[in-house]
Structure 1
Amino acid sequence: MLIAFNKPMNTLSQFTDEGKWHGLSRFGLPSGVYAAGRLDRDSEGLLLLTDDGKLQARITSPRTKTPKTYFAMVEGTPSADALAALCAGITLKDGPTAPAEVAQVDAPDWLWPRDPPVRHRKTVPDAWLRLTITEGRNRQVRRMCAHVGLPVLRLIRWSVAGHALVDLAPGDWRAV
């Protein structure tokens, strides 16, 4: 069984609550499924869950180079140099990243309101990037964007391994 779940902001990618943060247990997911990968508490979007250990390993293994696409609202205006650096790969403290597919895009038309809302500053512009990576390091997209001077204000995972978030509201799930 494979489940596509739209993880809301401030929800953990585990079933148990931890402190003031809620886990996945409150969303009526089938028993016996586990997250195939993680999505940070402050990130939103597609989280795949499965009861198949081999499938979970295949989705999460760095060797399979599973593509993951994100939409990132960043603070600032991306320069051509910043976008080129993200595309070429960034050297982070834990080593160089693989090249990424990156494009500046309009705000997604499927975007839902975030709770809490993103704080907007009148004097600082923001922009949206669509990034596809084939790694899954801890907070990788956030760290890559920060490295080129574009702090992430909102991060939404759109797709993993060919499965996309299409027509799933935050907190909703479906079998795929």
Structure 2
Amino acid sequence: MHRHFMIHKPYGYLSQFVSREKLAHKKKYLGDLYSVPQGTMAVGRLDEPSEGLLLLTTDGVESELVRSKKYEKEYYVQVDGIAEQEHVSKLSKGVLIGLGKGKYYQTLPCRVQLINPPEKLPHRSKKIRDERHGPTSWLSITITEGKFRQVRKMCAAVQLPVLRLIRVRIGAMHLNDIPNQGILEVSAFKD
């Protein structure tokens, strides 16, 4: 019997439970926060400075399905500067991002919209910055793919550096469904 979980991954944690690296004691892992069954894996990842909804499962087949283009992934993104409709248009059509080693990828068209600063955000241990450092804007970006650091690279491609990135939704599962920004066991993932 496989088990499935929705968790809130806070800022500053790696999307894994343990590490065998020499300097592992200097990093924070999900295992420091949540107790899950042996063999549980993260479905996709959020990088260390990213936050939000992360799915866990003991079922590799389910993991592959959720990472497919069948499931939308929505992010709230705080960017440095004033985002304009021109930025939204470029991001929506797809942009060219670097994959490393001289390789590039044209992102698929996606949904992007300017949003007001979200009222209810997860607590973050490190402050972003204050108004003295200039204006910021918020975007909602919904993609169906998931290249390495894709949303950050997309925003950089249109000269909008990311200050904060929060995954709020995967399919029909929302970060707000998790009580107290912790962990919630579910019978199945919903698309």
Give your verdict on TM over 0.5. Answer: yes
| 2:5 aligned to which of 3, 6, 12 | 3
Unpaired runs of at least 5, structure 2 = 99-103, 187-191
Query: Within 2, Cα distance between the matches of 1:46 and 1:123?
Result: 29
State yes or no: 1:53 paired with 2:60. Answer: yes
Query: Within 1, Cα distance between the matches of 2:27 and 2:51?
Result: 14
Letter in 2 for 1:148: V
Residues 128-167 of structure 1: pairs in structure 2 closer than 5 A: 128-167=138-177
Query: Within 1, Cα distance between the matches of 2:152 and 2:61?
Result: 29
State the 1:123 CA deviation: 4.8
> How many residues end up aligned between the 2 structures?
173
What SS does structure 1 have at the residue aligned with 2:5? strand
| 1:88 aligned to which of 86, 93, 104 | 93
State the 1:79 CA deviation: 1.5
Residues 101-120 of structure 1: pairs in structure 2 closer than 5 A: 101-120=111-130
Query: Within 2, Cα distance between the matches of 1:56 and 1:112?
Result: 25
Letter in 2 for 1:97: T
Q: Which residue of 1 aligns with 2:101?
A: none
Q: Percent identity?
A: 38
Q: Which residue of 1 aligns with 2:80?
A: 75
State the 1:103 CA deviation: 0.6
Q: Which residue of 2 aligns with 1:25?
A: 31
> 127-136 or 117-126, which moves further after superposition?
117-126
What SS does structure 1 have at the residue aligned with 2:138? strand
Q: TM-score, normalised by structure 2?
A: 0.85
Query: Within 2, Cα distance between the matches of 1:29 and 1:3?
Result: 11
Query: Within 2, Cα distance between the matches of 1:157 and 1:96?
Result: 21
State the 1:34 CA deviation: 0.8
Unpaired runs of at least 5, structure 1 = none
CA RMSD of aligned residues (A): 1.5
Query: Within 2, Cα distance between the matches of 1:56 and 1:100?
Result: 22
State the 1:15 CA deviation: 0.5
State the 1:65 CA deviation: 4.1
Given that residues 16 and 22 in structure 1 are in contact (C-alpha distance below 8 angstroms), is that contact kept between their aligned partners in structure 2? no
State the 1:120 CA deviation: 2.5
Q: Which residue of 2 aligns with 1:99?
A: 109
Q: Which residue of 1 aligns with 2:50?
A: 43
What are the Cα deviations for residues 89-114 of structure 1, in whole angstroms up to 9, with x where unaligned? 00112210001101111111211331
Letter in 1 for 2:14: L
What SS does structure 2 have at the residue aligned with 1:144? helix
